[in-house]
């Protein structure tokens, strides 16, 4: 009789577990991008000139479970009107309708589709992963795959839980239908390197 009771309890427990499986989503954290500490940089390295610029109006969020980072999703946007290259006239040209057309396409966006190459995030450790996503610029979206480093910091000593993501990838202006005027063809590279240093805090 006791063995029968034990069998019944085990069966009930197994049934309950199957009906209420652990939810991965329940462990997800939403990290909001901190515009004040995040930095987006681009670099143009052309035959006659090399220059860089920054975009300081980043926004968005990254949703991840430190124990299962493979399910990471996110969307990060930057305002094209915030581009600074160190020369006011060049800022105007880059934002103009002949280039990135900030009025018609006010934002560039990177959407994280998946993360692979890491099993979990360890507190305070920087780990490398492969990020797949979609990058939109000038109204054109292209697939991007890049290496990135993730650093997760749990809340401690009054500091909120935080996530830092550092990555770098290249884009081709032609693929985003951005034309380089012939007069500056040797001063602006058709391939632009984008460097991302993203800081986000748990919501």
Instruction: Return all residues near 172 (Cβ < 8 A) that are at least 6 apart.
Output: 190, 191, 192
Q: Which two tokens stand for residue 133?
A: 């996503």
Residue bearing tokens 């480093």: 149
DSSP 38-88: -EEEEEEE-SS-EEEEEE--EEEEEEE-TT-GGG-EEEEEEEGGGEE-S-H
pLDDT tens string 132-186:
999 999 999 999 999 999 999 999 888 999 999 999 999 999 999 999 888 888 9
Pairing of strands 162-172, 126-137: unpaired
pLDDT tens string 136-149:
999 999 999 999 99
Give the chain's residues under pLDDT 50: 2-26
Q: What is the pLDDT of residue 203?
A: 83
Enclosing H/E stretch for 142? strand 140-153
Q: Decide if 76 contacts 57 (C-beta within 8 A).
A: no
Q: Which two tokens stand for residue 39?
A: 């930095």
Answer CATH for 26-202 from 2.40.128.110, 1.20.1110.10, 3.30.460.80, 3.40.50.800: 2.40.128.110
Q: Which two tokens stand for residue 173?
A: 């202006």
Instruction: Return all residues near 148 (Cβ < 8 A) that are at least 6 apart.
Output: 115, 128, 129, 130, 131, 165, 166, 167, 196
């Amino acid at each position: 009789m006791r063995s029968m009771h034990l069998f019944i309890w085990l069966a009930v427990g197994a049934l309950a577990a199957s009906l209420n499986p652990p939810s991965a989503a329940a462990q997800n954290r939403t990290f909001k991008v901190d515009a004040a500490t995040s930095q987006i940089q681009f670099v143009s390295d052309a035959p006659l000139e090399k220059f860089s610029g920054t975009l300081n109006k980043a926004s968005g969020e990254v949703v991840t479970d430190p124990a299962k980072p493979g399910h990471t999703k996110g969307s990060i946007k930057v305002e094209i009107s915030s581009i600074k290259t160190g020369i006011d006239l060049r800022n105007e040209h880059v934002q103009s309708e002949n280039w990135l057309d900030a009025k018609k396409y006010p934002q560039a966006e990177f959407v994280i589709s998946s993360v692979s190459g890491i099993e979990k995030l360890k507190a305070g450790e920087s780990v490398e992963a492969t990020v797949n996503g979609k990058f939109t610029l000038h109204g054109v979206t292209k697939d991007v795959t890049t290496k990135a480093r993730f650093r997760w910091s749990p809340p401690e000593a009054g500091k909120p839980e935080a996530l830092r993501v550092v990555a770098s990838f290249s884009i081709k202006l032609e693929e985003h239908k951005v034309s380089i005027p012939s007069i500056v063809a040797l001063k602006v590279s058709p391939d632009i390197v984008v460097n991302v240093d993203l800081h986000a805090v748990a919501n």
